[in-house]
Amino acid sequence: MTHALVLAGGGVTGVAWETGVLLGLRDAGHDIIANLDLVVGTSAGSTVGAQILSGTDLADLYAGQIAEKHNEISPQLDLDALAIIFGEMALGGTTTDEQRIRIGELALGATTVDEPTRRAVIEKRLPSHNWPTTPLILTAIDALTGEFVTWSKDSGVSLVDAVTSSCAVPSVWPCVTINGRRYYDGGLRNSANAYLAKGHTDVIVIAPMTGGPSPIVTAELDELKASGSTIRMIVADAEAIEAMGPNSLDPRFRRVAAEHGRRQGRIATF
C-alpha cells in the first residue's frame, strides 16, 4: 500500500487550518506524515507540504500559526479583477488553457508588491529551503500560455521559487519569474489537483473548501476511486468557515483557523 497526501489551496488561513488538522490527527493517534510516499501541494498546500516535510515538528509549525507575531503581509484586493478571475472558475476550476490565459493577462497586468518582497515572505515561511527527500509535487500555471505545470525536486527549480509560484494568487500577488517565464497559483486549475496522486492506494485530501468540494475536484476524486484509490477527505466544517471569516488572505485569522483545524483533526473519522 502506498500513501499520498493532497493539500489544497486556501490562503493564509488555509495554511493555518491544514497545519491544525494534521496536528489534530496526530493528537488522535494518526501520525500520517510518518508513512507518506507522496505529497501534492497547491497554493496554501504547497507551503504546508514543504513545511511538514522539512523535519520540523508539527507542534512547532502549529505554534507558529497561533503566534501573534508573523511575517505575512496583507494585500490590497482588486475586487473587480478577482470577480472576473473567479468567474472563470464557475465549476471550481478551469478546464482550458484559454481560460488560464485570460486569468494570466489579469495577473500580469495587476498592481502588486514586487517579486522580491513577496518571495521574502515565502522564504520566512519555510523552515528549510531544500527539497525534501519524500516526493513533493507543487503546482503552478504559466501566465502566458495557460499551461498547468508541476514542480518537484528534479525540476531544477528552487523550493522557495516553486512555493512562491504556487501561492501567487493572480491580481493579489505578483507572478513569479522562473527561467524567464512567469507563473501564477496552480489553484486556478482547481484547488486540489488530486489527480496527481494517481497510482497511490491510500489518498488523504485535506482541503479548506468553504463551499465544499467543487464539481471539478469531485470529478477528479471519482476518477481516483475508479482507478483503485481509497479517498479520505477532510474539509472545513461550518464552524470553522464562520470563524475564519470571508478573507482567506487575512493573517489576523491564522490562530482561529489553526485551532479549528486541530479540533477537526482530533474528531476526524480515520
Contact status, residue 63 vs residue 183, Cβ threshold 8 Å: no
What is the predicted pLDDT for the residue at 255?
Answer: 98
Q: What is the distance between the terminal CA atoms of the chain, rounded to a whole angstrom? A: 16
How many CA within 13 A on the CB side of residue 92?
A: 19
What is the predicted pLDDT for the residue at 212?
Answer: 67
Contact status, residue 191 vs residue 214, Cβ threshold 8 Å: yes
Q: What is the pLDDT of residues 178-227, one digit of tens each?
A: 999 999 999 999 999 999 999 999 999 999 976 667 899 999 999 999 99
**What average pLDDT does the chain have?**
96
Task: Quote the pTM value.
Answer: 0.97
What is the predicted pLDDT for the residue at 270?
Answer: 78
Q: 76-107 as b/e, with b when 16 or more CB fall inside 10 Å?
A: eebeebbeebeebbeebbbeeeebbbbbbebb
